[in-house]
Amino acid sequence: MKKLDNIMYRGQAYEVKLISYPGKTNQIIFRDNKFNVYINNKLQGGRATQEAAQHLKSWMTERAEEVIKKRTHEYSNLIDVSYNTIRIKDTKTRWGSCSSKGNLNFNFRILMAPEQVMDYIIVHELCHLKHMNHSKEFWNTVAQYMPQYEKQKEWLKVNGMKLYTI
Ligand SMILES: [Zn+2]
């Protein structure tokens, strides 16, 4: 198990502080620019870290549900497309996907990236509702709503793996 002393959230790295306590429920409190993760004191060492990672993942997924759904809704109005469902997932390789039925999937880790990178992924998937491919027309549509998308793509290429700490 890797060390978990910091975590990316909306493009910034924050300290993760494990707090061993006698309570039974694990809690996460984001305070003073720190993720304070309360872990039952019966869990020690690697097991505590593992538990903390699990809880940070749930915390991040819950917030991703809120933020990504809201943002997708806003962008779908702007781009003038309608989608069917949105699912937030723990995917190993993909940031997002779009099916021919209009079902959108997003990796919860895009909430850990800078906001514009998250927006790019949302715009990218929504533009697939107009062009189900990566044709020139598709990229032109993406550029229409996100002129600097090349920058966000590059960020993902260079930094994407840094989001896989949990
Ligand atoms: Zn695509």
**Spatial CA neighbour of 54 closest among 39, 32, 73, 66:** 39
Q: How far is the CA of 97 from the centre of ligand 1 (A)?
A: 7
Tell me the sheet residues that pair with 17: 36
Give me the count of residues in the chain.
166
Q: Tell me, what's the pLDDT at 106?
A: 98
**Residue 12 burial (CB < 10 Å; 0-12/13-18/19+)?**
exposed
Are 105 and 91 contacting, i.e. CB atoms less than 8 angstroms apart? yes
pLDDT 10s digits, 125-140: 999 999 999 999 999 9
Q: How far is the CA of 43 from the centre of ligand 1 (A)?
A: 42
Report field, pTM of the whole predicted structure over 0.85: yes
Q: How far is the CA of 9 from the centre of ligand 1 (A)?
A: 24
Q: Tell me, what's the pLDDT at 24?
A: 83
* C-alpha atoms less than 13 angstroms from C-alpha of 35 in its C-beta half-sphere: 23
First vs last C-alpha separation in the chain: 11
Q: How far is the CA of 50 from the centre of ligand 1 (A)?
A: 33
Q: Tell me, what's the pLDDT at 93?
A: 85
Q: Which residues contact 98 (CB under 8 A, 6 or more apart)?
A: 83, 104, 105, 125, 126, 128, 129, 132
Q: How far is the CA of 79 from the centre of ligand 1 (A)?
A: 16
Q: Tell me, what's the pLDDT at 2?
A: 67
Q: How far is the CA of 69 from the centre of ligand 1 (A)?
A: 18
Q: Tell me, what's the pLDDT at 1?
A: 53
Q: Give the chain's residues under pLDDT 70.
A: 1-2
**Spatial CA neighbour of 76 closest among 119, 35, 28:** 119
Q: Under CATH, which architecture does the 6-163 domain have?
A: 2-Layer Sandwich (3.30)
